[in-house]
Structure 1
Amino acid sequence: MKDLNKKLTIVIILVLSSLLVVASPVLAAFDIEAESAILMEAETGQVLFTKNVTEELPPASITKIMTLLLAMEAIDSGQMNLDDTVIASEFASSMGGSQIYLAPKEKMKVETLLESIAIASANDACVALGEHIAGSYQNFIKMMNERASELGLKDTNFINSTGLPTDDGAHYSSARDIAIMSRELINKHPKVLDWTSIWIDKIRNGEFTLYNTNDLINYYPGADGLKTGWTDKAGYCLAATAKRDGMRLISVVMKTDSEEARMEESAKLLNYGFSRFDLKKVVKQGEDVGKIEVKEGEELEVKVETAEDLKLVLKSNAEDLEREIELEKEVTAPIEKGEIVGKLIIKQADKELGSVDLAAAENVKRADLLTRLWRMIRDFILGFFK
């Protein structure tokens, strides 16, 4: 009955927060009751809301996002596969907190360990998998910090793979960094969402039940991940993700006061994004943007087109987008089709929102010596009349 009341409370909170965001025509400045928070659109990486976004805080089990990322990258590289068997070490089996109670030398498939981490936040599974990937636990922590550096995470330092509390405060991350690693994980390895969206699962031939620690996937439309966290120092944290109408958002809240609060504040963030912003394709690949001059070419001009699509997250009533073409100072033959010759910049109220490369739409050969000489003479003579 207590769990049912708790879940009903969360449902009511989520519904009310949704109504407040969607129905109110005029709102006070939007804010979140969390120490730190961020809202990011997953495909473009555009940031839609921040609060104390670079503050270094204990991330608790949200740490496991990096563990999952390294594991999925090891699978992609061929280093391991989902059917590989992992043998739990004494150290892995000694982990406290959330766990699947691995016994020393117990054998378990990689996929089962990944499910246990993604669904139930199992610390022992996290350590066993890290040792399997890196050969030793310390090597895996080194890999975590190296990958953090590669991703440009400036406010993160890992000293374990679980997020279990440390006395010296040396294990930390920020809402910004967590959003970046979350984006890398779900964009490059969407398979993870198959696990993080599972509410209840069973392992060990049905003898052990995994319960998802993220209640949001049960109640919030489109929610399918990603990772909760809690310790006394970290408070209640959640890196959440949801997808609606082709747009995926990532929200991170850190150091909220309760399980209900981390769900409510995450829902508020996601509601804010889905109600106020749209993901729009503002440039299509292959758009004709005119011609530019080519020096020393058989043809004196070349058609230019956009090299790729450009999507931007815009406010739902966004208008007055401006296009500005910026070309290389001098384009000289020979030119090959597809060669980048400049960029198309999208602006709104003089603020740059994004850009896309411009490419030559055709080949242009260099003119022969006689043609180039004749043009020089012609331009010299015409110069007198100007």
Structure 2
Amino acid sequence: MYRKFLSVLTVLTVFVALFMFSTTNSVNAKSTYKRVSISNVRSTAYHNKSNSGAAYNQSHSRCAFLLKSHPHTSWYVTKKETLRHNRANAVYFYVRSGNKKYSGWVWQQYLTKGGAPFWIKSTHAAAIDVNTGKFLYNKSATAKVPVASTIKLLTIYNVLQKVHSKKYSWNSIVNTSGSGLYNMSRSYACGGFVLKHGVRYTVKQLYQAALIDSSNAAVIALGRWVSGSNVKQVQRMRSQLNSWGLRGNYIVSVSGLDNGDLNGYGYRYPGSSAYAQNTISAHDMAVVARNLLNKYPEVNQTTKINNLKVHGQWVHNVNTTLPGRKYNVRSLYINGLKNGYTPRAGYCLIGSSQKPGHHKLITVVIHDDDMSSDTTALMTHVYKYHSLKN
């Protein structure tokens, strides 16, 4: 009986202690911050001074978010309040992110005036004015890195050269024979547009499959049509880069696949290592894209297509910045250009746009998990801070 009494007494003591602690904390929370003044201010951009601090609700009883979780965000201040805390006054700003998803009260000492420096996740990036050739943005743009399927633009350039020579036409038949191409086109990892035995494909059809569907088999077949063999097309790609003054690049693959993927299909470049891959810079890919659009602007008539039926098969564009897609920004007038992905290159996107009355713009982002949103952010940034008007 005595033990039971002690147990009940202990429980009651703990309960009373917790209640008093809770009540005391509640009183302290209410009395910790006392408003001295509050006023509206003209909307002004600020950014984080460091990774310290947090934003709170107005009563300062709940943390809204940590500033370190938003290191590259511009905060727009619209209100200012002075609070009294521990016999001292402190000024707090009411901030809101540009996309209006995050807001709260932040101690002014955690912020510094001015918008956050422009930042994108891309490891390597570039932007170029197509009309003038002037680079408008660079981020580690000269490093030689894998670029996945964006390299297909080189072979597309060569295809257009041959078609425009007038010795051949879009209706010319391309030889797609060989088990390597057929098997590749059916591969889960490397396929897409399926090549069928006994079917004759035109240059136009494979050009559409290569640009819209990023078909590896289609672009390899086109390369063989241009140069006579896969090896000779790789050599042509190298020569083409050198003719534009783009040196120090390493090209072994027409499609952008590395040898780890090509080994099983017979398209490994002779003398290259088992896992060799193309390496070229974001800067040089911007120049490749610029030369393509300058000489053959009609390429955008194909790169802007979301879905198309080609020889009885639907091909689908994975570029989600195009009109009607998730990451499109209507005011940017995006019309291409080429996506790419391999595990080592990451997500890559060469974007193209032309606002009415402006020069054409090309952006390149490489190894970027946010390639679509970063592409539109980079385009928006360039149009805002550089004059591209005709």
TM-score (norm 1): 0.63
Which string of whole-angstrom CA distances, capped at 9 and with x for unpartnered residues, describes residues 228-248 of structure 1?
A: 000111100000011103221
The 8 Å contact of residues 208 and 310 in structure 2, kept in 1 or not, is answered as no
The within-5 A match list for 1:98-177 is 98-166=191-259, 167-177=274-284
Which residue of structure 2 lines up, in the alignment, with residue 276 of structure 1? 385
Seen in structure 2, the aligned counterparts of structure 1 residues 86 and 17 have a Cα distance that, compared at 3 Å, is: farther
Rounded Cα–Cα distance in structure 1 between residues aligned with 2:191 and 2:138: 30
Q: Give yes or no for the alignment of 1:86 onto 2:174.
A: yes
Which residue of structure 2 lines up, in the alignment, with residue 289 of structure 1? none
Of the candidates 50, 75, 79, which is equivalent to residue 138 of structure 2?
A: 50
Rounded Cα–Cα distance in structure 2 between residues aligned with 1:98 and 1:17: 42
Which runs of 5 or more residues in structure 2 are unaligned?
1-95, 101-112, 260-273
TM-score (norm 2): 0.63
Which residue of structure 1 lines up, in the alignment, with residue 359 of structure 2? 247
- Residue 153 of structure 1 and its aligned partner are, at CA, apart by 1.5
Which residue of structure 2 lines up, in the alignment, with residue 32 of structure 1? 120
- Residue 164 of structure 1 and its aligned partner are, at CA, apart by 0.7
Rounded Cα–Cα distance in structure 2 between residues aligned with 1:98 and 1:190: 28
Aligned length: 257
Rounded Cα–Cα distance in structure 2 between residues aligned with 1:18 and 1:124: 44
Secondary structure of residue in 1 paired with 2:379? helix
Which residue of structure 1 lines up, in the alignment, with residue 308 of structure 2? 201
When Rg is computed on C-alpha atoms for both structures, the one with the higher figure is: 2
Q: Give yes or no for the alignment of 1:61 onto 2:158.
A: no
Rounded Cα–Cα distance in structure 1 between residues aligned with 2:120 and 2:275: 28
The within-5 A match list for 1:67-82 is 67-82=155-170
Of the candidates 310, 322, 341, which is equivalent to residue 230 of structure 1?
A: 341
- Residue 274 of structure 1 and its aligned partner are, at CA, apart by 1.2
Which residue of structure 2 lines up, in the alignment, with residue 360 of structure 1? none
Cα RMSD (Å) of the superposition? 2.1
Q: How much identity, in percent, do the aligned residues show?
A: 27
Secondary structure of residue in 2 paired with 1:237? strand
Rounded Cα–Cα distance in structure 1 between residues aligned with 2:275 and 2:167: 34
Which string of whole-angstrom CA distances, capped at 9 and with x for unpartnered residues, describes residues 142-201 of structure 1?
A: 111100111122242211110112354442111001000000111110111100000110
Seen in structure 2, the aligned counterparts of structure 1 residues 28 and 76 have a Cα distance that, compared at 3 Å, is: same
Q: Give yes or no for the alignment of 1:263 onto 2:377.
A: no
Rounded Cα–Cα distance in structure 1 between residues aligned with 2:132 and 2:124: 22
Residue identity matched to 1:185? L
The 8 Å contact of residues 258 and 275 in structure 2, kept in 1 or not, is answered as no
Which string of whole-angstrom CA distances, capped at 9 and with x for unpartnered residues, describes residues 33-85 of structure 1?
A: 11100011111011111010111111110010101111111112234211111
Query: Which shows bigger deviation, 225-234 or 28-37?
Result: 28-37
- Residue 250 of structure 1 and its aligned partner are, at CA, apart by 0.4
The 8 Å contact of residues 338 and 349 in structure 2, kept in 1 or not, is answered as yes
The 8 Å contact of residues 155 and 172 in structure 1, kept in 2 or not, is answered as no
Secondary structure of residue in 2 paired with 1:131? helix
